[in-house]
Amino acid sequence: MKPSVNILLSGGGTGGHIYPAIAIANELKERNPGAKFLFVGAEGRMEMEKVPQLGYEIQGLNITGIQRSLTLKNLSFPFKLISSLIKANKIIKKFKPNVVIGTGGFASGPTLYMANRKHIPSLIQEQNSYPGITNKMLGSKVKKICVAYDGLERFFPSEKLIKTGNPVRQDLLNIDEKREEAIAYFGLDKNKKTLIIIGGSLGARAINHALEKHIQTILKNDIQVIWQSGKLYYEEYKKFNDIPGVQVKEFIQRMDLLYAAADVLISRAGAGSISELCIVGKPVIFIPSPNVSEDHQTKNARSITDKDAAILLMESDIDDLPLIIKRLLKDKKEQISLSTNIKKMALPNATKQIVDEVEKILK
């Protein structure tokens, strides 16, 4: 790589777009200490807070997505898009990036579009099994597309595709060695099975409601529960901390220890979560969110459950959750089979492979 290189990254809206961009930046920084980094995000979204906390500079575009329902908010979209294209152009002109990396989200569209118009080489990292509109539009213009699933030739030029997987936390690679530390950290009973429920950083309303309704039935399986309710719902559900064997958490800092403590997990089916859970290799029940674009969480989950590597429970059937938990906890053979199959799908070197591709572009 050149001795001094400017790297522009854009991705945000959710942790699923932000954390892969940060992981890629960290790996690039480790390999190239002299490189300069700049992120471009969407004003008012979580990246504007998270990226500076993680040590990188960020500039914001006044951009939002198009609402899927008919709404007055859509009337302002063309104006926001034009102003974002103008601002992205100014950012690129001033920063002079050698490469632009997009990980999805509102801001990456205008940023990569303007970079491509200026013939600056770019790469996108598509986390999902079904790509969003932004990445589909950019696919024909970028140099490389790093993906986590097979079959994306339907959406992108096949010669540009590289299957790398999604960047994941490196502290998940040896969680089996952390079991005792995890039990001590969460104050768990080592003689009981532990059920972990992950609803994402903000929380999952339907999962929280189902647990509220069925927690006593679930606890009859002689298990203990760590329930990550999320930021939006913690105040409503923290009262369940009074039930013996239940821990309700707003947010969990040590995800490596959470996964290490788990015997069975319940999770949404965001791309980042799935990539982590493949590496963790524990039995998982996926409850995909139906409220995301292109219903991509269901498609992500099916790519795992079609290979008998996890259980799929649709949100419309969420009241079946206690029965599924009971069946899975009783069936040791199924637990082993799910663990073995999901671990086969792990791609632990994603970040390094993506950065290898970035370096090839820079050469």
User: Whole-prediction pTM value?
Assistant: 0.86
pLDDT exceeds 60 at position 68: no
Q: How confident is the model at residue 293 (pLDDT cuts 50, 70, 90)?
A: confident
| Cβ pair 28, 59 in contact under 8 A | no
Rounded CA-CA distance 262/277 in Å is 11
Can you read off the two tokens belonging to residue 225? Answer: 């529960």
Strongest mean pLDDT among 11-20, 59-68, 181-190: 181-190
CATH 3.40.50.2000 residue window(s) in the chain: 6-167+348-362, 171-343
Rounded CA-CA distance 353/361 in Å is 13
Q: How confident is the model at residue 51 (pLDDT cuts 50, 70, 90)?
A: very high
Q: What is the pLDDT of residue 169?
A: 82
50 or 75: which leads in pLDDT: 50
- Mapped onto helix, strand or coil, the DSSP state of residue 312 is strand
Asked: is 6-167+348-362 a CATH 3.40.50.2000 domain? The reply is yes
159 or 46: which leads in pLDDT: 159
Q: What homologous superfamily does CATH list for 171-343?
A: Glycogen Phosphorylase B; (3.40.50.2000)
pLDDT exceeds 90 at position 8: yes
Q: How confident is the model at residue 17 (pLDDT cuts 50, 70, 90)?
A: confident
- Mapped onto helix, strand or coil, the DSSP state of residue 271 is helix
Beta partners for residue 42, in sequence order: 61
Closest by CA position to 262, among listed 244, 243, 242, 276: 276
